[in-house]
Structure 1
Amino acid sequence: MQITIDFAQLVNAIGDAIVISDAEGKITLWNPAATRMFGFTQSEALGKSLDLIIPERLRGRHWDGYHKTMASGQTRYGNDVLRVPAVDKAGRALSIAFTVALLHSPENELTGIVAVIRDETSRFQEERNLRKRIAELEARVGA
Structure 2
Amino acid sequence: MQTVIDLEQLVAAIGDAIIISDAKGSITLWNPAAERMFGFTQSEALGQSLDLIIPQRLRERHWDGYHKTMATGQTRYGHDVLRVPAVHKDGRAMSIAFTVALLHSPQHELTGIVAVIRDETSRFQEERNLRKRLAELEAQAGA
| TM > 0.5 | yes
**How far apart in 1 are the matches of 2:72 and 2:34?**
28
2:17 aligns with 17
**How far apart in 1 are the matches of 2:140 and 2:48?**
51
**How far apart in 2 are the matches of 1:5 and 1:109?**
25
1:90 aligns with 90
**How far apart in 2 are the matches of 1:88 and 1:78?**
25
Q: Aligned runs of 1:40-51 on 2, under 5 Å?
A: 40-51=40-51
How big is each residue's C-alpha offset from its partner over 1:79-104, in whole Å with a ceiling of 9 and x where there is no partner? 10000000010001000000000000
1:62 aligns with 62
How big is each residue's C-alpha offset from its partner over 1:5-48, in whole Å with a ceiling of 9 and x where there is no partner? 00110000000000000000000000000000000000000000
Q: Aligned runs of 1:1-143 on 2, under 5 Å?
A: 1-142=1-142
* Shift, 1:2, TM fit: 1.1
Q: Which runs of 5+ in 1 are unaligned?
A: none
**How far apart in 1 are the matches of 2:29 and 2:59?**
20
Deviation beyond 6 Å, 4+ runs, structure 1: none
**How far apart in 1 are the matches of 2:51 and 2:77?**
20
Q: Which runs of 5+ in 2 are unaligned?
A: none
- AA at the equivalent of 1:79: H
Aligned residues: 143
How big is each residue's C-alpha offset from its partner over 1:51-77, in whole Å with a ceiling of 9 and x where there is no partner? 000000000000000000000000011
In the superposition, the TM-score normalised over structure 2's length comes to 0.99
Percent identical across equivalent pairs? Answer: 85
- AA at the equivalent of 2:67: H
